[in-house]
Amino acid sequence: MTTSYSTDIVIFGGGIAGLWLLNRARDEGYQAILLETNALGGGQTLASQGIIHGGLKYALGGTLTGAANVIADMPAYWRRCLNGSGDVDLRACRVLSESYYMWSDSGLRSKLKTFLGSKSLQGRVEAVAAEKYPGFFKASTVSGSLYELPDFVVDTASLLEVLANKQRGQLFQIGADDYLFNRDSAGKIDSVTITSQGQEIQINTQRFIFSAGEGNQGLIEKADLQTAKSQIRPLKMTYLKKKDLPPVFVHCIGDSFSLTPKLTITSHVDSDGLAVWYLGGELAESGVNRNDDDQIETAKALIQDLFPWLDFSGGEWHCFTINRAEADINNNYRPEDAYFVEEDNILVAWPTKLTLTPSLADKVMGHFARISLCPSAQSNTEEMSNILPSAELADAYWE
């Protein structure tokens, strides 16, 4: 026997995009559920550095690009959510650092001063006076300059937890190969049949949203969509775990301006209380061409060179590869903002960046309002929870 269930929106993928969209859709009165093939957040979201940035990083190329302009409003948007006055209540989400910094060695000082003093950037980046340096940089033995950006860092695990906790009854786990899309008489996909624990459930819906990160490609193929295209960019992320590492949140600028900082550091704490330095930036981009041992040796040399005063002896080093998944809008060109494409009843969505997730939700909700998608189904997920297990949160990569 096949159990039947009707809802307004079915979301595939429980990273930041799917969870944020689920919260927004339900707050706006839609019945919505989320289906996850793995664990919530275990794709890019928990691999991300959690930096909510206002785009200044992109200005390092010399001009404020489109990407920098689109993203500039995002820190304020997130701040409203974090203080409870935004459209998603994130008051229980932990902020790891209220500031994000940029560090450059003395070689670039005069060039940076001129550049950061330029009209477009005035007031957006502040040079930090040496006596106001955060602890780690106070101990610096090299002559460098520190700048404060209007960016900050969220704890992605607590962010996911806040979003998932509000929707516990709507989050379901499905097997990666245990579902099939069904088409109506006009050929449009209007339901999905899921097999779980020997039982079958057919879920009818007005709209599907695919927000499965790298998994969007498989969904596009399974639904035989013709317009949505995705691309991936691998990164080799490295982390150092050591007791008493000082918390550091900084982009380290190389000896030339470049869109990608030489090294981007965020600091975290694992479940044993060990401090974690999580390392991205150019190190992660070029790292995909190195084996793990070479990557760790390269990371050690870089840290030694940048911060000769840091004692990281006895630390534990690890690295792993993770793919960034983005829309491919024109021969590998990636959008500067969050992006979705609609084909029949299906929206395929990519936030492009964690920071831009609220923009994705605004676009999708705006679209639903424009096409007058009305909340209709009166659904109760109780019966479904007897068939589908609930989706759980993934652990951080350094656990």
Ligand X SMILES: Cc1cc2nc3c(=O)[nH]c(=O)nc-3n(C[C@H](O)[C@H](O)[C@H](O)COP(=O)(O)OP(=O)(O)OC[C@H]3O[C@@H](n4cnc5c(N)ncnc54)[C@H](O)[C@@H]3O)c2cc1C
Instruction: Give the footprint of ligand X on this chain (CB under 6 A).
Output: 12-18, 35-38, 40, 42-45, 47-51, 211-213, 215, 218-219, 235, 237, 280, 322, 324, 350-355
CB of 365 to ligand X, least distance (A): 16
Q: Which is nearer to ligand X, 109 or 320 (CB)?
A: 320
Write phi, then psi, for 78 (nearest 5 degrees): -65, -40
Query: Which pairing describes strands 199-210 and 2-12: parallel, antiparallel, or unpaired?
Result: parallel
Query: Which pairing describes strands 126-127 and 32-36: parallel, antiparallel, or unpaired?
Result: unpaired
CB of 190 to ligand X, least distance (A): 18
Q: What are 366's two structure tokens? A: 């705006």
Q: Which is nearer to ligand X, 93 or 212 (CB)?
A: 212
Question: What 3-state DSSP class applies to 340?
Answer: strand
CB of 49 to ligand X, least distance (A): 3
Q: Which is nearer to ligand X, 133 or 181 (CB)?
A: 181
Name residue, tokens 């599907």.
208
Q: For the stretch 59-82, what's the b/e string if a residue is b when 16 or more beta carbons lie within 10 angstroms of its beta carbon?
A: bbeeebeebbebbbebbebbbebb
CB of 250 to ligand X, least distance (A): 13
Residue least distant from ligand X (Cβ): 215
Q: Which is nearer to ligand X, 132 or 269 (CB)?
A: 269
Q: Which is nearer to ligand X, 95 or 127 (CB)?
A: 95
Q: Which is nearer to ligand X, 47 or 310 (CB)?
A: 47
CB of 301 to ligand X, least distance (A): 21
CA-nearest of 217, 228, 170, 186 to 9 is 170
How far apart, in whole angstroms, are the C-alpha atoms of residue 154 and residue 94? 6
DSSP 198-253: TEEEEEEEEEEEE--GGGHHHHHHHTT-SS--EEEEEEEEEEEEETTPPP--EEEE
Q: For the stretch 94-109, what's the b/e string if a residue is b when 16 or more beta carbons lie within 10 angstroms of its beta carbon?
A: bbbbeebbbbbbeebe
Q: Which is nearer to ligand X, 109 or 341 (CB)?
A: 341
CB of 180 to ligand X, least distance (A): 12
How far apart, in whole angstroms, are the C-alpha atoms of residue 23 and residue 262? 36
- Evaluate whether 203 touches 194 at the Cβ level (below 8 Å): yes
Q: For the stretch 211-221, what's the b/e string if a residue is b when 16 or more beta carbons lie within 10 angstroms of its beta carbon?
A: bbbbbbbbbbe
Q: Which is nearer to ligand X, 109 or 318 (CB)?
A: 318
CB of 85 to ligand X, least distance (A): 21
CB of 308 to ligand X, least distance (A): 26
